[in-house]
Structure 1
Amino acid sequence: MKKYRLAAPEICAPEQRSFWLQDAGGSVATQALVGNEETDVAIVGGGFCGLWTALRLRERDRNLKITILEADFCGSGASGRNGGQVHSWFAEIDLLEKLVGPEEARSLCNASVDAIDELAELQMSGRIDMKLRLDGWYWTASSKAQEGAWQNAEGLCAAQGIKPFETCDAATLHKETGSSASYQGIVEKHAGTVQPACLALGLRDLALSQGISIHEASPVLSLLQGETWQLSCPQGQVQAKKVVICNNAWASAIPELRRYLYVVASQVIATEPAADILDRLGWKDGKAICDSQANVLYYQRTQEGRVIFGRGSGEVAYKGLMGPEFNQSPNHGSDNKKELRRVYPELANLSVTHDWAGPVDCMVEHLPVFGEMEDAPGLFYGVGFNGTGIAQTPVAGHILASLVLGADDKWSRSGLVGLTRRTALPPEPLRYLGARVVRHAICKRNDLEIQNKKVGWINRKISELAPSA
């Protein structure tokens, strides 16, 4: 008999919520769990992965009783804090090929393109107003060290006779993004941006309309294996035949997953609206832009003219424990503000109205993993999205639904299923201490490379110890 203790997340203060969540008016909209309930499938986590899994299960079984347990409210975790960038898995096709082989890699990439089409249909039909704008995703270089970062992915696509990307020169990038910082790159045209909190809250409404039970403000504190699984929350319990863990970085509370999962922080800021300035620069639509530095930048312009500017900070969680600094960075996004001035010096005087942080669940392979616990039958998991999930979690929902239903199909046979091909990490405290040293080296190297300055041999070697596929 297995028992797992889960950690309740540190709930954000209202003023620390992401711009997205405040803009969408996100809040608890369903009843907390009180008393005892029974269900066929309990899903821990009401973000993109949990909601899409519930919807995929409902598509395949109209009579299945499905219950989502969310610690805060749907979308309040990583799903409502990210950069809102939508692109396919073709950007990671090289990583996918290493893990699952060329045939399935292409299939998963195509499935993520289908997911973008599905998002577009939800937007066009009026079922979810996620403010989707498919104006392209730009993967760029703004220093010599970043040049050609996309060549592996682009080359493998060409080898398979597919061309999801187009090359961009400096003039094109300047015209499209309004910045001269990035001077080479590629664009995926069938990609773009969303308001991620609107998407998450819309998926919540869609799930409720499909008869899926959702209890918000109901953190799962423990899982107990028996004839059925018992999920304990502060004011009640759920008895479930099967359980799916979809709670992002908080899944690191489970030791079997923590061996492979590490948690880092991202930082994001939002500026005051400045549509007139952005229009003059030529940045007029909803394209998504990122660069190729180690602490990757990702940014978009909202419809009302704010700039959302995110950066992977690399702060590491000890034993996966996430305190208030994973809701809002103590430096209030100062690194992002500095980079915003570098990329858009014309915006140097803009006020930053929102700054927030969020934990990112990472795997060494930079790809998610799905499966059923070997010694805990009926306990399934989907984690490790590495910050790339808007077009990928609809695919994850297919995989998890097949696993939960015991189907034998392309989803359940995916090479993303199972931990045996994944890289285990060192135990604590070695992992944390080593990560701190490596992170310092990465930040120092990153800052030098952005300025096209020479990186010392020792610093380079230490920085290369970072997990990579």
Structure 2
Amino acid sequence: MRPFWLQQALDSEAVPACPPLAGDSRCDVCIVGGGYTGLWTAVMLKQQNPQLDVLLIEADICGAGASGRNGGCALSWSAKYFTLERLFGVQEAVRLVQASEQSIHAIGDFCRAHGIDADYRLDGTLYTATNPAQVGSTDKVIGALQQQGINSFQRLPLEQVQRMAGSARHLEGWFSPAAATVQPGKLVRGLRRVALGLGVRIHEGTAMTGLQEGAPAEVHTAKGRIRADRVVLALNAWMARAFPQFERSVAIVSSDMIITEPCPELMQQIGLDNGVSVLDSRIFVHYYHNTPDGRLMLGKGGNTFAYGGRMLPVFDQPSPYAPLLRRSLTEFFPALAEVDVAATWNGPSDRSVTGLPFFGRLNGQANVFYGFGYSGSGVGPCHMGGQILASLVLGQDNAWTRSPLVNGPLGYFPPEPIRYLGSLMVRNAIRRKEHAEDHGHRPRRLDVGLARFAAAAGKADKG
């Protein structure tokens, strides 16, 4: 059984699987990975150059990774403004915030243009505080956005916040219309359909077993090889396992989700009658939104950490944090206490040191490109990733190829076992800190200090 979103998408389509690669092949561009990044890149390449021969391989089926199992929150990089400014300067930070908002609108335009029923709803997002310690935590970044003339948020009266969020747990809220929610499985499968229609050759059930650099490069698979003038590696959380030089560039951590059975009458009663996404101000946030058929999806990031970037079996199983998620759901929505849970699931996200993705050329090669590190917030930014990688493949000179995002990793985690043990220490400190704050207690100074290691990357693990 697939994760809920992907299974729902598969049940609604009648498209046969693309056959595995059998034998050798030749192409202009080989893309490895059939998630959002790989498919957006393939689509954008064919839109700009229809004659380009693009071949995409996917180890499982398109959307089997994070793209088919995320929270479905398409968010901008507004909340990451301070990180963007610190790393790239004011001008590029402003451009990236604006581009991230443009991508959210572009995804909706794409779905409408190509008849993709991905439950896209441009209903905005609400950033909230759910305990007194969180109140005011968003003020500084809103002030910076306002100063640069790129602020889309407005503070709402508390009564309106609680009505829009459907819960009295929220103590303040900032609303931005520049956000959407989607059914992520339907979106990724829709991208697959469009890519096929544009002439992209797709081989599912075809894992890359090796890469031989050169001109052309060779992508090796179990039953054949692909000679390609250019290669795009869109493996995301699997990148560190395939290429050891990236092992310390990301930490693999789960985001865990729960979704109820349909209860549209209760959704109406509590006020969740549109597609607004709601996120609190924790370091590993709670995030939730409803669905058009009256379900409530709630998730929380920062739970299971993988040692050495390994793909753990638990990432393909129901969430081991289901009781915690159920408790959180009931605390936010007492009216849903008796509603049955339809499914729980989790999956690996590739959290970078900065909380931002990064792109580049593999080992300095002029014809092998990569991009990953979306840090649990990729629904919107993967559209930007497609623009970056398509621009690199086509050799364009534009704002994307000149962006410092294409300079590779912008930081590294310590080696194992320090990274793994340190991750657990920080995670547990965050839990203790936020538990104390939830109960009106002052957290221990040590826990506050440890939590700062994770807080620097901003809101994450919800897309």
Question: Take 1:332 and 1:465, find their aligned partners in 2: how far apart are those partners?
Answer: 23
Q: Please say if residues 43 and 54 of structure 1, whose CA atoms lie closer than 8 Å, have aligned partners that are also in contact.
A: yes
Residue 166 of structure 2: aligned partner: 178
What's the secondary structure of 2:393's corresponding residue? Answer: helix
Question: What 5-or-longer segments of structure 2 have no aligned partner?
Answer: 458-463
Alignment match, 1:93: 81
Query: Aligned partners of 1:329 and 1:201: how far apart in 2?
Result: 22
Confirm or deny: 8 A CA contact 1:40 1:240 kept in the other structure: yes
Is the contact made by 2:318 and 2:343 (CA closer than 8 Å) also made in structure 1? Answer: no
Do the aligned partners of 1:231 and 1:239 also contact (CA within 8 Å) in 2?
yes
The percentage of counterpart residues that share the same residue type is 37
Deviation at 1:186, TM superposition (A): 0.7
What pairs with 1:335-350 in structure 2 (closer than 5 Å)? 335-350=324-339
Distance in structure 1 (CA, Å) of the matches to 2:450 and 2:153: 33
Query: For residues 364 and 392 of structure 2, what CA distance do their matches in structure 1 show?
Result: 16
Q: Secondary structure at the match of 2:363?
A: coil
Distance 1:450 1:252 in 2: 36
In 1, are the aligned partners of 2:429 and 2:448 still within 8 Å (CA)? yes
C-alpha distance in structure 1 between counterparts of 2:391 and 2:363, whole Å: 17
Aligned partner of 1:34 in structure 2 is: 22
CA distance in 2, matches of 1:90, 1:437: 29
The residue type equivalent to 2:329 in the other structure is L
**Aligned AA (1:349):** E
Aligned with residue 146 of structure 2, among 150, 158, 161: 158
Q: Which amino acid aligns with 1:106?
A: V
Separation in structure 2 between the aligned mates of residue 66 and residue 75 of structure 1, nearest angstrom: 18
TM-score normalized by structure 2?
0.93
Q: Is the 8 A contact 2:283 2:454 kept in 1?
A: no
* 1:23 aligned residue: 8
Change (3 A) 1:447 1:222: farther
Q: Deviations over 1:276-310 (max 9, x none)?
A: 11111121111111111122111111111111111
Give, in angstroms, the shift of residue 330 of structure 1: 5.7
Q: Distance in 1 between matches of 2:230 and 2:372?
A: 17
- On the 8 A contact 1:77/1:358 being kept in 2, the answer is yes
Matched, 1:367 2:356: yes
- Alpha-carbon spacing, 1:114–1:261, altered in 2? closer, same or farther (3 Å): same
TM-aligned CA distance change 1:243 to 1:412, over 3 Å: same
Letter of the aligned partner of 2:388 in structure 1? I
Query: Residue 256 of structure 2 contacts residue 303 of structure 2 at CA under 8 Å; is this kept in 1?
Result: no
Superposed CA deviations along residues 311-353 of structure 1, whole A, max 9, x for unmatched, are: 1033211111012111225625222111111111111111111
User: Which residue matches 2:461?
Assistant: none
Aligned to 1:304: 293
Could you tell me which of 207, 217, 234 is aligned with 1:219? Answer: 207
Q: Is 1:415 aligned with 2:404?
A: yes
Q: Which amino acid aligns with 2:135?
A: E
Q: What is the identity, as a one-letter code, of the residue corresponding to 1:354?
A: A
Q: Shift of residue 158 of structure 1?
A: 0.7
Cα deviation per residue 1:365-384 (whole Å; 9 max; x = unaligned)? 11110110234442211111
Q: TM-score, normalised by structure 1?
A: 0.92
1:273 corresponds in structure 2 to 262
Aligned to 1:258: 247
Question: Which residue of 189, 202, 219 corresponds with 1:201?
Answer: 189
Q: What count of residue pairs does the alignment treat as equivalent?
A: 453
Q: Which residue among 36, 50, 60 is the counterpart of 1:72?
A: 60
In structure 2, give the amino acid aligned to 1:312.
G
- Residue 441 of structure 1 corresponds to 429
Equivalent position amino acid for 1:229 in 2: A
Report the residue type matching 1:339 in the other structure: S
Shift of 1:185: 1.6
Aligned to 1:381: 370
1:402 corresponds, among 374, 380, 391, to 391
8 Å CA contact 2:256–2:299 kept in 1: the answer is: yes
Q: CA 1:295 to 1:373, structure 2 compared with 1: closer, same or farther past 3 Å?
A: same
Q: Structure 1 residues 449, 327: closer, same or farther in 2, change over 3 A?
A: farther
- Residues 58-137 of structure 1 aligned to structure 2 (within 5 Å): 58-125=46-113, 127-137=115-125
CA distance 1:187–1:55, shift in 2 (3 Å): same
**Where do 5+ consecutive residues of structure 1 fail to align?**
1-13
